[in-house]
Amino acid sequence: MKKILVIGAGGQIGSELVVELRKRFGADSTVASDIREPQSGLSGEGPFEVLDVMDNERLKEIVAKHEIKEVYLLAALLSATAEKNPEFAWKLNMEGLFNVLNLAKEGVIKKVFWPSSIAVFGPTTPKKDTPQLTIMEPSTVYGISKLAGERWCEYYANQYGVDVRSIRYPGLLSYTTLPGGGTTDYAVDIFYSAKKNEPFSCFLKEDTALPMMYMADAIRATVDLMEAPDDSIKIRSSYNLAGISFTPKEIYEAVKKLNPDFTIEYNPDFRQQIADSWPGSIDDSAAQTDWGWNPEYDLESTAKIMFDNVLTEVHD
Q: For binding to ligand AKB (CB under 6 A), which residues are involved? A: 78-79, 117-119, 142, 169, 171, 182-184
* C-alpha torsion 95→96→97→98, nearest 10: 50
Nearer to ligand AKB among residue 68 and residue 97 (C-beta)? 97
Question: Around 187, how many Cα atoms within 13 Å sit in the side-chain half-sphere?
Answer: 30
Phi, psi of 86 (to 5 degrees): -60, -40
Least separation in angstroms between residue 34's CB and ligand AKB is 18
Residues 221, 168 contacting (CB under 8 angstroms): no
Distance (Å, rounded) from C-alpha 238 to C-alpha 242? Answer: 13
Distance (Å, rounded) from C-alpha 247 to C-alpha 280? Answer: 9
Return the beta strands (E) in the chain as ranges.
Answer: 4-7, 30-34, 48-50, 70-73, 111-117, 164-169, 171-173, 200-202, 210-214, 239-240, 244-246, 264-266
Nearer to ligand AKB among residue 48 and residue 121 (C-beta)? 121
Which of the residues 142, 156, 175, 214 is marked catalytic? 142
Helix (H) or strand (E) holding 306: helix 299-309
Is 239 assigned a catalytic role? no
Least separation in angstroms between residue 75's CB and ligand AKB is 14
Nearer to ligand AKB among residue 117 and residue 222 (C-beta)? 117
| Residue whose Cβ sits closest to ligand AKB | 182
Nearer to ligand AKB among residue 171 and residue 280 (C-beta)? 171
Burial of 302 (0-12, 13-18, 19+ CB in 10 A): buried
Least separation in angstroms between residue 74's CB and ligand AKB is 11
Helix (H) or strand (E) holding 282: none
Distance (Å, rounded) from C-alpha 140 to C-alpha 277? Answer: 9
Nearer to ligand AKB among residue 119 and residue 241 (C-beta)? 119
Nearer to ligand AKB among residue 142 and residue 152 (C-beta)? 142
Taking alpha carbons only, the member of 86, 62, 89, 61 closest to residue 75 is 89
Distance (Å, rounded) from C-alpha 255 to C-alpha 249? Answer: 10
Least separation in angstroms between residue 209's CB and ligand AKB is 13
Least separation in angstroms between residue 118's CB and ligand AKB is 5
Active site residues: 142
